[in-house]
Amino acid sequence: DQQVKQNSPSLSVQEGRISILNCDYTNSMFDYFLWYKKYPAEGPTFLISISSIKDKNEDGRFTVFLNKSAKHLSLHIVPSQPGDSAVYFCAASGTGGFKTIFGAGTRLFVKA
Amino acid sequence: SQTIHQWPATLVQPVGSPLSLECTVEGTSNPNLYWYRQAAGRGLQLLFYSIGIGQISSEVPQNLSASRPQDRQFILSSKKLLLSDSGFYLCAWSPTVERNTEAFFGQGTRLTVV
């Protein structure tokens, strides 16, 4: 049972435009959500997170939106840059946060 | 600053052979430690996590085991590898179990079982 779902395996965006990566979750006990970025043959690196008490968190070009009623979150990257091309993983955890469940990932291609 | 080391980076092993992947964390104490696997075209699957020495929780039944002989050392093992054990294995740590926080990953080990 996939508790965290990223239904788009890939996304292609033109440089300078907005990239929107989506994520859905099923477990209502999740209260902390994260996005990680991963390059080939490397470990994921943390990008941005959001607590369930918020509906938006912004860090530079990256903004994460959380819609608890829809159990949906999204990552917006604007403007997109070629260096943003990577696989993006959505992740979620419950109270305590020591067990994090990851989605399947979305591969983002930013074309110059 | 904290660093995580994972080795080897790549490994090719025959079916039926044993496995030992090692992970160590520096610059912190009593970290939470994790082993994840990324199979081809799939997300990161949590295999094991540990909140202290000798404390291992297994998330999925499988051909693998984990041990934590020291506070900052986490080992992934198998007595006999299967073809289905191939994948990209990632060790990670997080600062505490008390609050939500991000995990920090090692560089990963690409395991190919032939």
Would you call B108 an interface residue with chain A, using a CB distance cutoff of 8 Å?
yes
Inter-chain touch A102–B102, beta carbons under 8 Å: no
Q: How would residue B41 be classed by pLDDT, with cut points 50, 70 and 90? A: low
Residue A74 bridge partners (DSSP): A22, A65
Select the residue of B41, B51, B105 nearest A44 (Cβ to Cβ): B105
Q: What is the mean pLDDT of residues A92-98?
A: 69
Inter-chain touch A43–B103, beta carbons under 8 Å: no
Which residues in chain B touch residue A104, judged by CB atoms under 8 angstroms apart? 41-43
Q: Which residues contact B46 (CB under 8 A, 6 or more apart)?
A: A99, A100, A101, A102, B34, B35, B36, B59, B60
CA B114 to centroid of chain Cα atoms: 21
Inter-chain touch B97–A98, beta carbons under 8 Å: yes
Q: Mind listing the pLDDT tens digit for each residue in B71-91?
A: 999 999 999 999 999 999 999
Which residues in chain B touch residue A51, judged by CB atoms under 8 angstroms apart? 100
How many Cβ pairs within 8 Å bridge chains A and B? 67
Residue B102: per-residue pLDDT:
85
Inter-chain touch B94–A98, beta carbons under 8 Å: yes
Which residues in chain B touch residue A31, judged by CB atoms under 8 angstroms apart? 100
Q: How would residue A96 be classed by pLDDT, with cut points 50, 70 and 90? A: low
Strand, helix or coil at B41? coil
Residue B60: per-residue pLDDT:
79
- Looking at CA atoms only, how far is residue B45 from chain A in angstroms? 7
What count of Cα atoms within 13 Å lies in the side-chain half-sphere of residue B64? Answer: 27
Beta-strand (E) ranges in chain A? 4-5, 10-14, 19-25, 32-38, 45-51, 56-59, 62-67, 72-77, 86-93, 100-102, 106-111
Longest dimension (CA), chain A: 41
**B97, pLDDT greater than 60:** no
Higher pLDDT, A13 or B40: A13
Residue B51: per-residue pLDDT:
87
Say how many C-beta atoms besides its own lie within 10 A of residue A54's C-beta: 13
Q: Mind listing the pLDDT tens digit for each residue in A9-68?
A: 999 999 999 999 999 999 888 989 999 999 988 899 999 999 999 999 999 999 999 999
